[in-house]
Chain A
């Protein structure tokens, strides 16, 4: 088994919390993992990505080779397209539909959606609205994780445990909100 995931977004959007949840869940399942992150200057509102590799065998490279990612999980629509060279022919692109506009020449949203829909396996999720319904717009990244959880080779119970672990210090209210966000995201796709 191997699960190569590219997490993408804009600096400050919280892709590292998604990575932390997947990390905890992977450890619970005794999987090998490597996760390359971006720190430093590009975190300031620039494009950021994380290569996350899960496997039942030791992982060699910290970086995913082109054309071999099973999943692009993006919290921002334009950023989801930046990593298409990495996506495998059968891989899934799962993205938030809400643009993060901090550049003057941001493309037309309609055109972006057209490009995203050209990808064979795509799932576009209005994570911001779903997160607000679940109780807080801040949980949009967990909604996205929920939507993408169908394509992660991890039991959903492990992802729930990981959320309990990550948000443990913040109390039951925050945990419940994020679990609700996870499942609301998960409901966006049926096998």
Chain B
């Protein structure tokens, strides 16, 4: 079969389509976005009628994927690592219900926080939920493992977690395709109470889940992803999880590693495999991208005198992503270094595009707030988070999707006035609406600015659920009509917009200002497409 040149994300997407996917669900988030984008753009997906619309957030995506699985069909849901926090309720309880058709949950982690607010390791979610977890080390492995993940999911009737990280998600390499698997036919679960987690049923199901997890740890086929490669030098052995294996191989320079190595590609890992390394070697170095999950497991508690090295003893830095040089150092190997970066090289942080509507909104907000002093603005996740940087210095928080609204409510409770939230349109429909309902119910004195660029901008301009719906949503949630104001963020409207914001800042109830102008990147792409059509 032909070879494709694919990003890790695209390899996951292509594999899912080839492996009989019927429904794909996601909310955009770096580094996971390209999975859904690839499937949306795919002619094959269109021919196969694969469902592939963005969801309002990761929780709705997770639950819709579970619903698709209920009908016996294969479904996949993809999100960035922090998206799994949003979807956690559905995810953990989907392990309890189990699945009908195969269900894969893709979590794309972002160690070193290239585009995220933390570097949480999703493998812990797999362990927490007793869900088998795959961790590929290459684009080809990612492709192949998706097939296996669906099979595992259907064999054990559990969802599976598929963990990738930024470097794999956004790195391109050749991928060879497998034969296609047909989509499953529609079929209801054989036991119609399977998905009813009433306590009496849940207790039974939980015992089943625990037994399942144990069985997977002893499933020979599943455990083939974890294997032992012998080496003559037993002074230390190496455990390499996921991508870390590549960095080890890089340092071995096409030769076989002198030391025994265990490569890990799926969890749970069979205990006797790790035990063998402990028996044969004097000490063990654990290399893993993310938190020290395997390292902690092997150390035990209280930690024994047996030497396990890794992130916990400083052999590998405690935080940040791995690279070939970090791994070389941990293994006591030499590595090169070019010249230092000259002192005149300055930092070049990301910035809002020239002509961005968020910038005009911040300029008006800053002027309106001058008389009230600093420290009044909660913000959220999106391009507009760059309002924290000069020249704006306009916001005081960025925590999680939707937190601007609810933190403004809480801070108002604590005496902050005016208390302002700045949230994007897509973030608002993701997780801001429920917070606004809280504010309305309490008549909280807050000013919510929805900076509406009619797209999900930061991840590359995906469709926003909020487009053309914001006024009616706010009205429906109970915001008084006269306190829903719409402004157009343009430099020529600065004075007028500042006045509107000033008026609403002093209102002792809920006001919403919708600052509405299309993202200039999306607009440019739209115009280009229109030109090409002509």
A residues lining the B interface (CB < 8 Å) = 10-11, 23, 27, 32-47, 57, 59-69, 78-79, 81-82, 84-89, 91, 102-103, 105-108, 111-112, 115, 119
Collect the chain A residues with CB atoms within 8 Å of residue B249's CB: 60-61
Given the complex of chains A and B, what is the CA–CA distance between A76 and B475 in angstroms? 49
> Are A115 and B342 in contact, CB atoms less than 8 angstroms apart?
yes
Given the complex of chains A and B, what is the CA–CA distance between A68 and B338 in angstroms? 8
Interface size class of B (residues with CB under 8 A): 35 or more
With A34-B173, A61-B247 as known contacts, state yes or no: A40 contacts B349, CB within 8 Å: no
Q: Indicate if B73 sits at the interface (CB-CB under 8 A).
A: no
In-complex Cβ contact of B323 among A63, A69, A91, A105 (8 A):
A63
Interface string of B338-353 (1 = CB under 8 A from A): 1111101111111111
Collect the chain A residues with CB atoms within 8 Å of residue B460's CB: 39
Collect the chain A residues with CB atoms within 8 Å of residue B386's CB: 44
Q: Indicate if B114 sits at the interface (CB-CB under 8 A).
A: yes
Interface string of B487-518 (1 = CB under 8 A from A): 00000000000000000000000000000000
List 13 A–B pairs whose Cβ atoms lie within 8 Å, in order of A's numbering. Answer: A11-B350, A36-B170, A37-B171, A39-B460, A41-B458, A45-B350, A46-B350, A61-B250, A62-B243, A63-B247, A78-B344, A81-B344, A85-B337
B455 to chain A, nearest CB (A): 14
- 5 closest A-B pairs by beta carbon, nearest first, are A67-B336, A40-B30, A40-B115, A46-B350, A60-B249
Collect the chain A residues with CB atoms within 8 Å of residue B23's CB: none
Given the complex of chains A and B, what is the CA–CA distance between A45 and B458 in angstroms? 12
B residues lining the A interface (CB < 8 Å) = 3, 5, 7, 30-31, 33-34, 114-115, 167-168, 170-174, 243, 246-247, 249-250, 254, 323-325, 328, 335-342, 344-353, 383, 386, 458-460
> Are A44 and B351 in contact, CB atoms less than 8 angstroms apart?
yes
Given the complex of chains A and B, what is the CA–CA distance between A22 and B310 in angstroms? 37
CB nearest to A61 among chain B residues: B250
> Are B250 and A102 in contact, CB atoms less than 8 angstroms apart?
no
Given the complex of chains A and B, what is the CA–CA distance between A103 and B391 in angstroms? 11
> Are A85 and B345 in contact, CB atoms less than 8 angstroms apart?
no
A-B pairs with beta carbons under 8 A, tally? 155
> Are A42 and B171 in contact, CB atoms less than 8 angstroms apart?
no
> Are A59 and B173 in contact, CB atoms less than 8 angstroms apart?
yes
CB nearest to B110 among chain A residues: A40
B457 to chain A, nearest CB (A): 9
B249 to chain A, nearest CB (A): 4
> Are B346 and A107 in contact, CB atoms less than 8 angstroms apart?
yes
> Are A81 and B342 in contact, CB atoms less than 8 angstroms apart?
yes
> Are A85 and B338 in contact, CB atoms less than 8 angstroms apart?
yes
Given the complex of chains A and B, what is the CA–CA distance between A42 and B30 in angstroms? 11
> Are B115 and A42 in contact, CB atoms less than 8 angstroms apart?
yes
> Are B114 and A34 in contact, CB atoms less than 8 angstroms apart?
no
Collect the chain B residues with CB atoms within 8 Å of residue A67's CB: 335-338
> Are A68 and B345 in contact, CB atoms less than 8 angstroms apart?
no
Collect the chain A residues with CB atoms within 8 Å of residue B348's CB: 10, 45-47, 78-79, 102-103
> Are A88 and B171 in contact, CB atoms less than 8 angstroms apart?
no
With A44-B350, A45-B351, A46-B351 as known contacts, state yes or no: A62 contacts B338, CB within 8 Å: no
Collect the chain A residues with CB atoms within 8 Å of residue B34's CB: 39
In-complex Cβ contact of B345 among A61, A82, A89 (8 A):
A82
CB nearest to B383 among chain A residues: A44
User: Which residue, A10, A41, A62, has most C-beta atoms of chain B within 10 A?
Assistant: A62
Given the complex of chains A and B, what is the CA–CA distance between A61 and B30 in angstroms? 21
In-complex Cβ contact of A62 among B246, B344, B347, B351 (8 A):
B246
In-complex Cβ contact of B459 among A11, A40, A79, A119 (8 A):
A40
B329 to chain A, nearest CB (A): 11
> Are B337 and A78 in contact, CB atoms less than 8 angstroms apart?
no
Given the complex of chains A and B, what is the CA–CA distance between A64 and B250 in angstroms? 9
A170 to chain B, nearest CB (A): 10
